């Protein structure tokens, strides 16, 4: 049996199935349907040839999992990682399906990528990997605006998603007018959303704040409402953590610790977000940050995880909060900024310690909403808000004129930008989702994760049940 790195527990797919099975016992869905929903619709493993810059040929392994087509197309991450395998991709695709059901976003779940360490390859080689991956999926009918729409995940950025779009358009652009909708997370010049890169972190920050503003939540976990004044420790400091930290700091949080794979920093009086971020971006480590004051390296880095804080944000990789370290945490809230952050056993330990776990299913809504709007934008072939922006401006000016006033500055009457539209949708979806999750959690006496699974699985079940199956 596969194991989670650094833990005695089984791998991510087994962990997700344990959470799924817990909920299956509490939900009124026919067992046959649950068995059908639990399993992936298809799992693709294939060879990916790469001619290195030195002329040598290397063969990589690649994957794409389509978990559910209860809604089409499928939607899910594209990852470059030496730890990726078919089982992990299947687990992340299942989580994505449930997340889409929970947030009532009309996509199925998928996931995939290439098993490789991107740090070992040149930019030219990475481009070859991404373009070949797209080509291989296209040849097998595994990608397309109405089939499967990848989005960036670990070690994948807007440039790489733009390569996916470009490759697909070269293959099918003359037959498919919607070819640009083949993926999301692209650069704005390629049809991406303005400000889209920070939506995942924005969703995490807004989601945590929404939970803290629920009276029943703050009372249950003995913590004051709102983000202002909360102390935060981050595990991991990639793009999701960076944007989450940025928005949390803007909301009044104080970052006291950051733990990465090779280093950590801690300061109970607070860490300067800008200077710490600049140092890490330049050196890929916190070694010697602030002259080496309060810096930790190697095996001592994880000690920062166990320092006291109000909120611990897990933004590293799957299973980092597990049965080996959950009992050592000294926080009131564990925030899952990435999928699969907490193992099944760790969840039970944290529940027993009365530490709140705000699950990935809810907090990944930011990227899901942004992805959905980008897909719609590419299908509709018009910039979000463009058709009504002028009308909104004229309307605001007319209202002010009726009361004898003029706008103090032009921005006061401007129509919403793409980022404004997505932000408004994100906050609306988050509030509605958290309200539903809180209600089910209270009524059923289950964790927020279990409540999220219940809502998501019920929506997926309804889609299949009401559509029926071809026999």
pLDDT tens for each residue of 354-389: 999 999 988 887 788 888 989 999 998 877 665 555
Give the domain-ending residue among 314, 342, 365: 365
> What contacts 236, CB < 8 A, 6 or more positions away?
259, 260, 314, 315, 316, 317, 320, 337, 338
Share of the chain above pLDDT 90, in %: 66
Residue 148 placed within a domain: yes
**Residue pair 223/212 in contact by the 8 Å Cβ criterion:** yes
Q: What pLDDT score does 425 carry?
A: 85
Per-residue pLDDT band for 29 (boundaries 50, 70, 90) equals very high
Using the 8-state DSSP alphabet, how is residue 456 labeled? H
Q: What pLDDT score does 396 carry?
A: 52
Per-residue pLDDT band for 413 (boundaries 50, 70, 90) equals low
Average pLDDT over residues 445-449: 92
Q: Are residues 127 and 204 in the same domain?
A: no
Q: What pLDDT score does 293 carry?
A: 80
Q: Is the pLDDT of residue 250 over 60?
A: yes
Give the domain-ending residue among 192, 218, 235: 192
pLDDT in tens, 254-264: 999 999 988 99
Question: Beta strands of 117-253 (E only): which ranges?
Answer: 148-152, 231-235
Averaged pLDDT score across all residues of the chain? 89
Q: What pLDDT score does 391 carry?
A: 45
Average pLDDT over residues 8-20: 90
Q: How many helices (H) and strands (E) in the chain?
A: 15, 12
For residue 62, the surrounding DSSP H or E stretch is: strand 57-66
Q: Are residues 352 and 221 in the same domain?
A: yes
Q: What pLDDT score does 418 carry?
A: 77
Q: Is the pLDDT of residue 403 over 70?
A: no
pLDDT in tens, 305-342: 999 999 999 998 888 899 999 999 999 999 999 888 99
Higher pLDDT, 360 or 394: 360
Residue 416 placed within a domain: no
Residue 408's Cβ-count burial label (10 Å; 0-12, 13-18, 19+) is exposed
Q: Is the pLDDT of residue 3 over 80?
A: no
Q: Are residues 361 and 239 in the same domain?
A: yes
Structural domain for 153, as ranges: 42-192
Q: Is the pLDDT of residue 122 over 90?
A: yes
pLDDT in tens, 277-316: 999 999 889 988 887 788 888 777 888 999 999 999 999 8
pLDDT in tens, 139-167: 999 999 999 999 999 999 999 999 999 99
**Residue pair 249/273 in contact by the 8 Å Cβ criterion:** yes
Q: What pLDDT score does 1 carry?
A: 47
Q: Are residues 323 and 253 in the same domain?
A: yes
Per-residue pLDDT band for 352 (boundaries 50, 70, 90) equals very high
Average pLDDT over residues 224-240: 93
Q: Are residues 79 and 117 in the same domain?
A: yes
Average pLDDT over residues 218-237: 92
Q: Are residues 88 and 154 in the same domain?
A: yes
Q: Is the pLDDT of residue 7 over 60?
A: no
Residue of 318, 335, 302, 258 lying closest to 5 (CA atoms): 318
CATH number at 250 reads 3.40.50.720
Q: Which of 118-132, 133-147, 207-221 has the lowest mean pLDDT?
A: 207-221
Domain count, the chain: 2
pLDDT in tens, 423-435: 888 888 888 999 9
For residue 264, the surrounding DSSP H or E stretch is: strand 263-266
Q: Are residues 144 and 204 in the same domain?
A: no
Residue 452 placed within a domain: no
Q: Is the pLDDT of residue 244 over 90?
A: yes
Q: Are residues 155 and 286 in the same domain?
A: no
Average pLDDT over residues 348-353: 94
Residue 231 placed within a domain: yes
pLDDT in tens, 173-208: 888 899 999 999 999 899 998 877 778 888 899 999
Residue of 51, 58, 22, 225 lying closest to 128 (CA atoms): 51
Q: What pLDDT score does 470 carry?
A: 67
Q: What pLDDT score does 374 carry?
A: 92
**Distances from the Cα of 278 to the Cαs of 155, 171, 249, 295, in angstroms?**
19, 40, 15, 16
CATH number at 85 reads 3.40.50.10860
Q: Are residues 95 and 161 in the same domain?
A: yes
Give the domain-ending residue among 313, 330, 365: 365
For residues 70 and 214, give the distance between their C-alpha atoms in angstroms, rounded to a whole number.
32
Q: Is the pLDDT of residue 417 over 80?
A: no
> What contacts 332, CB < 8 A, 6 or more positions away?
221, 222, 223, 310, 311, 355, 356
For residues 81 and 360, give the distance between their C-alpha atoms in angstroms, rounded to a whole number.
20
Q: Are residues 179 and 215 in the same domain?
A: no
Q: What pLDDT score does 368 carry?
A: 85
Tokens 């026999």: give the residue: 471
């Amino acid at each position: 049996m596969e194991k989670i790195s650094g833990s005695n527990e089984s791998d991510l797919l087994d962990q997700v199935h344990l959470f799924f099975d817990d909920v299956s016992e509490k939900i009124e869905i026919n067992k046959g349907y649950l068995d059908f929903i639990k399993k992936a619709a298809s799992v693709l493993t294939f060879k990916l040839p790469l001619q290195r810059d030195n002329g040598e040929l290397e063969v990589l392994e690649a994957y794409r999992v389509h978990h559910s087509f209860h809604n089409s197309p499928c939607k899910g991450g594209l990852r470059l990682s030496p730890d990726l395998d078919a089982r992990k991709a299947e687990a992340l695709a299942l989580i994505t399906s449930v997340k889409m059901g929970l947030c009532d976003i009309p996509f199925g779940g998928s996931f995939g990528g290439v098993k490789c360490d991107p740090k070992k390859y040149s930019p030219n080689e990475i481009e070859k990997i991404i373009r070949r991956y797209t080509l291989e999926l296209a040849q097998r009918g595994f990608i397309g605006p109405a089939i499967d729409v990848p989005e960036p995940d670990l070690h994948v950025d807007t440039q790489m998603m733009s390569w996916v779009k470009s490759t697909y358009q070269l293959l099918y652009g003359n037959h498919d007018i919607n070819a640009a909708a083949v993926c999301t997370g692209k650069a704005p010049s390629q049809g991406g959303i303005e400000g889209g890169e920070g939506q995942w972190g924005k969703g995490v920050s807004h989601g945590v704040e929404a939970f803290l503003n629920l009276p029943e939540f703050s009372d249950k976990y003995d913590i004051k409402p709102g983000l202002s004044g909360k102390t935060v420790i981050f595990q991991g400091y990639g793009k999701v953590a960076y944007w989450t930290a940025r928005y949390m700091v803007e909301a009044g949080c104080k970052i006291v610790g950051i733990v990465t794979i090779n280093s950590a920093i801690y300061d109970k009086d607070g860490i300067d977000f800008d200077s710490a971020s600049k140092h890490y971006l330049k050196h890929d480590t916190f070694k010697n940050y602030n002259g080496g004051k309060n810096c930790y390296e190697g095996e001592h880095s994880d000690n920062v995880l166990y320092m006291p804080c109000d909120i611990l944000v897990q933004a590293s990789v799957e299973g980092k909060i597990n049965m080996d370290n959950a009992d050592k945490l000294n926080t009131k809230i564990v925030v899952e900024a990435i999928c699969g952050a907490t193992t099944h056993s760790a969840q039970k330990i944290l529940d027993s310690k009365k530490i709140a776990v705000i699950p990935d299913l809810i907090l990944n809504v930011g990227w899901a909403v942004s992805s959905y709007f980008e897909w719609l934008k590419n299908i509709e072939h018009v910039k979000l808000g463009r058709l009504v922006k002028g009308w909104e401006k004229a309307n605001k000016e007319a209202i002010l004129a009726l009361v004898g006033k003029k706008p103090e500055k032009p921005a006061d009457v401007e129509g919403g930008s793409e980022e404004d539209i997505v932000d408004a949708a994100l906050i609306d979806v988050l509030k509605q989702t958290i309200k539903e999750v809180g209600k089910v959690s209270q009524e059923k006496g289950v964790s927020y994760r279990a409540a999220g699974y219940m809502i998501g699985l019920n929506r997926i079940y309804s889609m299949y049940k009401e559509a029926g199956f071809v026999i």
